[in-house]
Amino acid sequence: MSGFVEKPEAVEVPGLTHLHTGKVRDLYQNAAGDLIMVASDRISAFDWVLPTEIPDKGRVLTQLSLWWFDQLADLIPNHVLSTELPPGAPADWEGRTTVCTSLAMIPVECVARGYLTGSGLVEYQQTRTVCGLALPEGLTDGSELPAAIFTPATKAAVGEHDENVPYEEVARQIGAETAAQLRQATLAVYGRARDIARERGIVLADTKFEFGFDGAEQLTLADEVLTPDSSRFWPADTWEPGRAQPSFDKQFVRDWLTSPASGWDRGSEQPPPPLPQETVDRTRAKYIEAYERLTGLTWG
């Protein structure tokens, strides 16, 4: 059993229709058919949406995504129309809301990996492959790959885990032409972002994107992009293959939940407990540090 420890009630806003409550984002639609995406301060770990929020997290994710969309605009269009608050929206939505084109979303998590870690490392240790792609011998946790690879995954519901699938299966499900478009776009965007992050002293180990088609059948980048929730960012000055890397994400949350201090058994069906304030503060600081180091801007 997993999912929300405490599922939040949707905020009602005149003129908006609530569509979906996700792990982090709440989705609405306005009368014109545009999508309203609101990033909350919720945080998830081990397929649970935790009962404790991380202050400012939703604003960091939104502002960082907007910055990245600007850096990538010449490579691929994105779904952002504006950041103007809908009439009657709560003041708390300021800075965490985007008005977006409603796309025909492609049901694939488009993952790019430039370094070996996570589920890719687990598969490599067993078969010397990642998503069926053969890799050379001698790689270890944190190793840079000879070239970035496209390793798609199925998009899971809240409380379920994305599952890596071979490229051939994606091509079978959505068509060879669309699959090829996804692979090309994913690797192009990853390559640009990897280089930008590297200039700022950050290793972009891997990341995932979501794409959709607009009415003109134009492949369009959607959702969030290149945030600590969707990417593994490592400090370049401490990167060292052969061990787990420090990360600009919810590392402190995972570490506390799996520590004796939490009293939580990950293998049980019991929901995880609330986070202590120290873990909340350290996690918030890590998200803000990622934003500041990548953008060169001061938060707040």
pLDDT digit string (tens) for the chain, length 300 residues: 468 988 899 999 999 999 999 999 999 999 999 999 999 999 999 989 999 999 999 999 999 999 999 999 999 999 999 999 999 999 999 999 999 999 999 999 999 999 999 889 999 999 999 988 999 999 999 999 999 999 999 875 554 556 888 999 999 999 999 999 999 999 999 999 999 999 999 999 999 999 999 987 899 999 999 999 999 999 999 999 999 999 998 889 999 999 999 999 998 889 999 999 999 999 999 999 999 999 999 998
d(CA 218, CA 16): 26
Task: Encode the chain in three state secondary structure.
Answer: CCEECCCCCCCCCCCCEEEEECCCEEEEECCCCCEEEEECCCCEECCEECCCCCCCHHHHHHHHHHHHHHHHCCCCCECEEECCCCCCCCHHHCCCEEEECCCEECCEEEEEEEECCHHHHHHHHHHCEECCEECCCCCCCCCEEEEEEECCEECCCCCCCCEECCHHHHHHHHCHHHHHHHHHHHHHHHHHHHHHHHHCCEEEEEEEEEEEECCCCCEEEECCCCCCCCEEEEEHHHCCCCCCCCCCCCHHHHHHHCCHHHCCCCCCCCCCCCCCHHHHHHHHHHHHHHHHHHHCCCCC
pLDDT number for residue 156? 58
Per the CB < 8 A criterion, the answer to whether 65 and 187 are in contact is no
pLDDT number for residue 48? 93
Name the pTM for this structure: 0.93
pLDDT number for residue 159? 44
From residue 174, give the alpha-carbon distance in Å to each of 78, 151, 170, 250: 21, 15, 6, 33
**Residue type present at position 72:** L
132: left (phi over 0), alpha (psi -120 to 50) or beta: left
Domains of the chain as residue ranges with CATH: 1-102 (3.30.200.20), 104-235 (3.30.470.20)
The two tokens of residue 53 are: 């929020």
d(CA 273, CA 259): 12
pLDDT number for residue 269? 84
pLDDT number for residue 2? 62
